[in-house]
Amino acid sequence: MDAGPSISASSASRLLSSFTTFFKLTLHSLLYHRALYPKITFLTVRAFNLPVHQSRYPRLCRWINDAVASVKAQIRKGTIRHISVVMHAAKTFDVLERWVFDVEMFPAEWGDRDDVTYDPELVEDADDEDDEDDEDDEDDEDYEDYEDDEDDEDDENDENDENDEDDEDDEDDEDEDDNEDDEDEDEDEDDEDDVNWMDVNEALRGALRRVAHAAEMMPALPEGSTFTLAVELRDEASAPMDHPQHWIPSHSNLQPPTDISLNQGSSLRGQNTTPIRSVRAGPLFFECWIEQSGSSLHQNSHK
């Protein structure tokens, strides 16, 4: 099994944050375009330089955040093969659609920390005007300049009180600090050289747009439909049994073939599979597709 490319820990952590942000946006988009919740309960915001839709239900948002965090933890451990957003019929809970993301070719190492410096998710309201942003930027700049002026005056007073020996010592200390800073910057640049972040953003933007378009164009789901989030583990991976237990085993109709049982769940693959996109975002590679069940196709053909 190809475990994917190896990259630096800092780049891997940032890359994982980028993907989980993309996946969180995808969940919101699917719930919006598949009309599982009233569209009036969504806000239009911008992320990856795209207009996207975010639910305003606090409980739903918390559920999505917790679910994506659990998926992220399993990806970091290298245990996941597929992630699926599964649409179910009301009452019977029959599988109607599966939106599958194949992450088996993800990098082998993700680093040992979360990178909190990069998070392009759901931060900009699409209805905000650019003029207001510009005014805020100007106010910030003025405030920073004002602080700099005060610092300059304090520095001048301090310099008048210092003797020549202190000046020489300070200069030596500054030279040492500058050298250390230069070394740190060189190390950071080396870590970032293995990933073209512009390509990553462009690829994730394109995938998010394609998923949203596919969801918008598909026939409507039956009224009262619901959804779940499922992960398919790699053959050698152990089931997540941490406490508290975030995951439960899927029903037999959603279980893939294993060494113990070669039978594939009846709800997997479906009667109609439609590829959405193969995504190459730097060292990140994944595929996504839609699986429609026979019951879903039958219902749509009679509308």
Contact 203, 280 (CB under 8 A): yes
Taking the C-alpha atoms of residue 4 and residue 104, their distance in angstroms, rounded to an integer, is 8
**Average pLDDT score over residue span 66-85:** 92
List of domains in the chain = 9-128+192-301 (3.30.900.10)
**Crossing angle of the two packed helices 9-33 and 58-77, in degrees rounded to 10:** 140
Quick one: pLDDT at residue 64?
A: 97
**Average pLDDT score over residue span 275-299:** 82
**Average pLDDT score over residue span 51-66:** 96
Quick one: pLDDT at residue 252?
A: 56
Quick one: pLDDT at residue 284?
A: 86
Instruction: Find the helix or strand (DSSP H, E) in which 44 lies.
Output: strand 42-47
Burial of 194 (0-12, 13-18, 19+ CB in 10 A): middle
Taking the C-alpha atoms of residue 13 and residue 115, their distance in angstroms, rounded to an integer, is 6
Taking the C-alpha atoms of residue 270 and residue 291, their distance in angstroms, rounded to an integer, is 5
Which pair of tokens denotes residue 43? 């806000």
**Mean pLDDT score across all residues of the chain:** 73
Q: How far apart are the first and last CA of the chain?
A: 44
